[in-house]
């Protein structure tokens, strides 16, 4: 079984490899091909993986290449975890947006649109190559903004592309823990778009346990999302939102906090990772040790500004271990070995959410087996959630249209229609400024 990782020189690749190292069963991944544009980063990450594999007799073989087509040929699974424009691009996305008084987060608001506009053309090129060179492969998309990028790829790969994110699983796990419920025995009624979903219920043996949580301020104060949103607001909503909804419900405060921060998240990670790759230029540097240290710091500072505005304190130890590699491995196992399971994934809607058309990629519980991921039909969203989901999906569609046509006016429309962009004039200035700083947006022409 061969797994190809696009963005193979990326910082989070060792997480995936670590998960593979724990899988000794028949049908496991035996070969990993890393692809990246940057040979030096490939070398650095390969060294981390080699140290991880030490002493594991059945560790998957690792090969690295900068040739995309060669990386794709013969792949059974392709993970796409690319970052178009690098972390420098992410920092620019934030800076430009904040200068206009709006949010520049990589997946939410203006920043997410800018990142999407840069990434979609590259993702579409990859999808076309996969369709041609590895037509039977499954593509697992980690690349943010994950929902939008998955939808762009699905136009070429159909249901063979599946988007993943660890936020919903993390949220479900936290709620289950607080309620004293085994997450494996709970049905988590989570639905929405990527980074824009809500847990509406958590059923154990048919009984919804969420009302018990919503009624108890102490329980609500004992986990990340409870502290971020506050007990009163969660009770008003009657649901627990994905942590990324903090940027919507507390937009003014989060924009302010980001404007005042010493460094934005992208700038922090840009500098932090530059140090990591620099450290590994020394051939004798302990690679895994440097990676572990860097990762711990990244995890501890995740969404720090949001927690600060909410007075939510530090992250809990249990929340620092990530988890997206576990979702990825569970998904691959289910498909490759027909191990039937349920996972929250980004797939085409196909009637599961009545407010959206069937081609719209949504984030929803899916039954997964050898035939792929099948969304489970979800009850209708409450009005407030329908409003946001439909508005943001409309924005995503404008981003896809702009990427296809190269129309600048369509790009302006995408920014202007976003609920977190408060004026058409702001949208115009965002397109001006983003096209000035990002060479990857040169395709947006004046028409």
- Nearest residue (CB) to Mn ion, 11 versus 277: 11
Question: Shortest gap between Cβ of 150 and ligand G6P (angstroms)?
Answer: 12
Q: Per CB under 5 A, which of residues 163..222 are in contact with Mn ion? A: 165
Query: Taking CB within 5 to 8 Å according to partner kind, which of ligand G6P, Mn ion, none is near residue 265?
Result: ligand G6P
In the complex, least distance from residue 168 CB atom to ligand G6P, rounded to whole angstroms: 9
Cβ closest to Mn ion, residue 120 vs residue 165: 165
Query: Given the complex with ligand G6P, which of 80 and 167 has the nearer CB atom?
Result: 167
SS3 128: helix
**Which of these segments, 98-106, 160-168, 288-296, 409-417, binds Mn ion (CB under 5 A)?**
160-168
- Shorter beta-carbon distance to ligand G6P: residue 324 or 415: 324
How many of the other CB atoms lie within 10 Å of CB of 371? 10
The angle subtended at Cα 17 by Cα 15 and Cα 22, nearest 5°, is 100
- Residue 338's SS3 state is coil
353 belongs to the binding site for Mn ion (CB under 5 A): no
Q: Counting every residue, how long is the chain? A: 447
Contact yes or no for 407/447 (Cβ under 8 A): yes
Dist CA 84 CA 77 (whole Å): 21
SS3 of residue 27 by DSSP: coil
Q: How far is the CB of 221 from ligand G6P (least distance, A)?
A: 22
Taking the least distance from each CB to ligand G6P, the nearer of 143 and 410 is 143
Task: Count other C-beta atoms under 10 Å from residue 282's C-beta.
Answer: 10
**DSSP letters of 174-238?**
HHHHHHT--GGGEEEEEEEETTEEEEEEEEETTEE-HHHHHT-HHHHTTSHHHHHH-HHHHHHHT
Q: Which is nearer to ligand G6P, 115 or 231 (CB)?
A: 115
| CB closer to ligand G6P out of 113 and 214 | 113
Least Å from the CB of residue 313 to Mn ion: 22
Q: How far is the CB of 298 from ligand G6P (least distance, A)?
A: 5
User: With binding defined as CB under 5 A, does residue 389 bind Mn ion?
Assistant: no
* Residue with the CB atom nearest ligand G6P in the bound state: 167
Q: Give the separation between CA 319 and CA 416, rounded to whole angstroms.
A: 35
Within 8 A by CB and 6+ apart from 360, the residues are: 151, 348, 349, 353, 393
**Does residue 162 belong to the site contacting Mn ion (CB under 5 A)?**
no
| Contact between 176 and 182 (Cβ < 8 Å) | yes
- Contact of residue 433 among ligand G6P, Mn ion, none (CB under 5-8 Å per partner type): none
Which residues bind to ligand G6P, rule: CB under 6 A? 144, 165-167, 265, 269, 298, 302, 324
- Please report whether residue 98 would count as binding Mn ion according to CB under 5 A: no
Q: How far is the CB of 229 from Mn ion (least distance, A)?
A: 18
Contact of residue 443 among ligand G6P, Mn ion, none (CB under 5-8 Å per partner type): none
Report whether 414 contacts 399 (CB < 8 A): yes
Residues within the interface to Mn ion (CB under 5 A): 165
């Amino acid at each position: 079984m061969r797994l190809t990782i696009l963005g193979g020189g990326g910082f989070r690749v060792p997480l995936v490899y670590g998960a593979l190292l724990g899988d000794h069963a028949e049908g496991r991944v035996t070969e990993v091909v890393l692809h990246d544009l940057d040979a030096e980063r490939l070398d650095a990450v390969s060294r981390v993986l080699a140290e991880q594999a030490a002493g594991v007799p059945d560790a998957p073989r690792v090969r690295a290449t900068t040739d995309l087509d060669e990386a794709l040929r013969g792949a059974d699974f392709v993970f796409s975890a690319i970052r178009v424009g690098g972390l420098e691009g992410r920092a620019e996305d934030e800076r430009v947006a904040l200068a206009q008084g709006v949010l520049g987060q990589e997946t939410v608001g203006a920043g997410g649109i800018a990142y999407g506009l840069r990434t979609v053309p590259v993702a579409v090129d990859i999808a076309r190559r996969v369709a041609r060179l590895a037509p039977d492969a499954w593509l697992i998309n980690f690349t943010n903004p994950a929902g939008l990028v998955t939808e762009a790829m699905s136009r070429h790969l159909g249901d063979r592309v599946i988007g993943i994110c660890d936020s919903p699983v993390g949220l479900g796990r936290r709620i289950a823990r607080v309620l004293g419920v085994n997450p494996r025995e709970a049905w988590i009624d989570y639905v929405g778009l990527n980074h824009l979903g809500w847990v509406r219920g958590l059923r154990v043996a048919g009984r919804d346990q969420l009302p018990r949580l919503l009624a108890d301020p102490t329980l609500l104060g004992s986990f990340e999302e409870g502290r971020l949103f506050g007990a009163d607001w969660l009770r008003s909503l009657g649901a627990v939102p994905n942590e990324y909804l903090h940027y919507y419900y507390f937009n003014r405060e989060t924009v302010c906090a980001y404007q005042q921060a010493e460094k934005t998240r992208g700038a922090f990670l840009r500098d932090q990772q530059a140090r990591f790759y620099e450290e590994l230029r020394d051939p004798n540097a302990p690679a895994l040790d440097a990676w572990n240290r860097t990762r711990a710091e990244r995890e501890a500072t995740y969404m720090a500004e949001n927690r600060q505005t909410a007075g939510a304190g530090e992250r809990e130890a249990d929340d620092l271990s990530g988890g997206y590699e576990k979702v990825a491995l569970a998904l691959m196992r289910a498909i490759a070995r027909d191990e039937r399971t349920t996972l929250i994934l980004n797939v085409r809607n196909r009637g599961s959410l009545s407010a959206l058309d069937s081609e719209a990629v949504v984030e929803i519980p899916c039954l997964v087996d050898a035939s792929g991921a099948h969304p489970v039909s979800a009850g209708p969203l409450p009005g407030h959630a329908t409003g946001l989901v439909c508005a943001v999906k409309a924005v995503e569609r404008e981003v896809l249209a702009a990427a296809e046509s190269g129309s600048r006016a369509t790009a302006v429309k995408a920014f202007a229609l976003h609920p977190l962009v408060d004026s058409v004039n702001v949208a115009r200035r965002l397109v001006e400024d983003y096209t000035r700083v990002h060479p990857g947006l040169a395709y947006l022409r004046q028409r």
